[in-house]
Amino acid sequence: MSEIIQDKIDMDGDGKTSKTEVNIANDKFKNRRRMAWLAMISMIWFTALLLTNYISIERIKAIESIFSTFYIAMASVVGAYMGFTAWEREKNINA
């Protein structure tokens, strides 16, 4: 692990990275990844639900704006995760 990453993980500022600090940092990244996966799976599930006969065409047309807002929000979560992950990697490589 590089010194820059260790400095970011070191929460108490003692210059040493403990297992607890590493676990907290890993949990943070795990939770972000889970949130992005849940957003992507919910979009796929929601699309599959719309393609079945469980919801009538009239109902779909009535709440069309809610659907578009849902897709934009979930795609934003996935895109933000991918973008910030790439940005952090690039930042840590170049530092």
Domain ranges of the chain: 3-94
Per the model's pLDDT, the better-predicted residue between 50 and 26 turns out to be 50
Cα–Cα distance, 13 to 11 (Å, whole number) = 6
Instruction: Give the model's pLDDT for residue 30.
Output: 84
Instruction: Give the model's pLDDT for residue 91.
Output: 74
Average of per-residue pLDDT across 78-93: 85
Average of per-residue pLDDT across 4-22: 59
Q: Is the pLDDT of residue 42 over 90?
A: yes
Residue 53 CA: distances (Å) to CA of 16, 26, 37, 90: 58, 42, 26, 46
Q: Is the pLDDT of residue 85 over 90?
A: no
Instruction: Give the model's pLDDT for residue 87.
Output: 86
